[in-house]
Structure 1
Amino acid sequence: MAVPAHFSIVTLGVADVAASASFYRRLGWEQRGDQSVGITWFRTAGTWIGLFGYAELAEDVGLDAGPVAQAGSAPAYRGVTLALNFASEAEVDDAMAEALEAGAVHVKKPTRAEWGGYSGYWADPDGHLWEVAYAPGMPAREDGTIEVPRG
């Protein structure tokens, strides 16, 4: 059996589940589950984002937690970004403005990229990096999904 190429959940380790959940609600994302059990869920296009205590997630994985990001501080690069693709540059600008209004930390202003698109970055209260992008070769569908061309 081959391992199927899909994932159902991206779980983010966060310092304060309630505070992070509040941030994602301010983005207008649909929340599910009972936050009082220590984890909560937000619907995305076809998958879910889980918010789980930082130390608790490390314990679940069986690794040392290390330092927790300080809310509002410049994020540490962790080798991972999450991306939200949009149908136009204007939508990227709007999404960036809404994320900042909701409490995101500004990382990189949206600019035209060498690959022909337009993108910028913000970080959530725990420093998880989110790219907002318009990629003309991979236009976002109405549901937010994209198709990466062969080639």
Structure 2
Amino acid sequence: MEPRISLITLGVADLHRSYEFYRDGLGLPTSRKPEEGVVFFRTSGVVLALYPYSDLAGDVGPGWEVPRSKFTGITIAHNVRERHQVDEVLELAARAGAEIVKPAADTSWGGYGGYFTDPDGYLWEIAWGAFPFHEDGSLDVG
């Protein structure tokens, strides 16, 4: 198997609301509309997809449409090139309607970061300092 993650799909309660949060609030680029049933956002790495939660659970199979817990054990990280960008991204997310669940602060690993949740409670970490970037925007994790 080639080491690659191509797509991360978030099951969302309201596709229009989440589309507006990511497109209008955070400024992620897309050429799709919610009326098409799924929305894809282009990033410097993995494609982020939004899909109705019940449809995604149904695609997996019977018995998967269950309530999500508050903490699923997964976070999505957006690393930034400069320390001050952590605060800028968290402010942008808050203006878009995100809940800041951990304000930006120095981290135990020598960086700087904070967390917000999107309209469906998915946790996003905004972080600076752990890794340099490749030219294509992906992280150089060594």
Query: Under a length normalisation based on structure 2, what TM-score does the superposition of the two structures give?
Result: 0.91
1:68-107 correspondence to structure 2 within 5 Å: 76-107=70-101
The answer on whether the counterparts of 1:15 and 1:68 sit within 8 Å (CA) in structure 2 is: no
- Cα deviation, 1:118-145, whole Å, max 9, x if unaligned, reads 110001000110000002x412457542
Segments of 5+ residues of structure 2 without an aligned counterpart are none
Q: How many matched pairs?
A: 140
Partner of 2:58: 59
Aligned match of 2:140: 147
1:105 shift after superposition: 1.1
Q: Is the 8 A contact 2:103 2:115 kept in 1?
A: yes
SS at match of 1:6: coil
Give the whole-Å Cα distance in 2 for the aligned partners of 1:107 and 1:140: 26
Identical aligned residues as a percent: 41
Q: Distance in 1 between matches of 2:127 and 2:136?
A: 15
Aligned Cα RMSD in Å?
1.7
Counting only pairs closer than 5 Å after superposition, residues 28-67 of structure 1 correspond to structure 2 as 28-62=27-61, 63-67=63-67
Aligned-pair distance for 1:21? 0.2
1:88-145 Cα deviation digits (max 9, x unpaired): 220101010001111111110111111100110001000110000002x412457542
Judging changes above 3 Å, is the alpha-carbon distance between structure 1 residues 34 and 95 closer, same or farther for their aligned structure 2 residues?
Answer: closer
Normalised by the length of structure 1, the TM-score is 0.86
**2:28–2:42 Cα contact (<8 Å) kept:** yes
Q: Distance in 1 between matches of 2:50 and 2:89?
A: 21
Where does structure 1 lack aligned partners over 5 or more consecutive residues?
A: 70-75
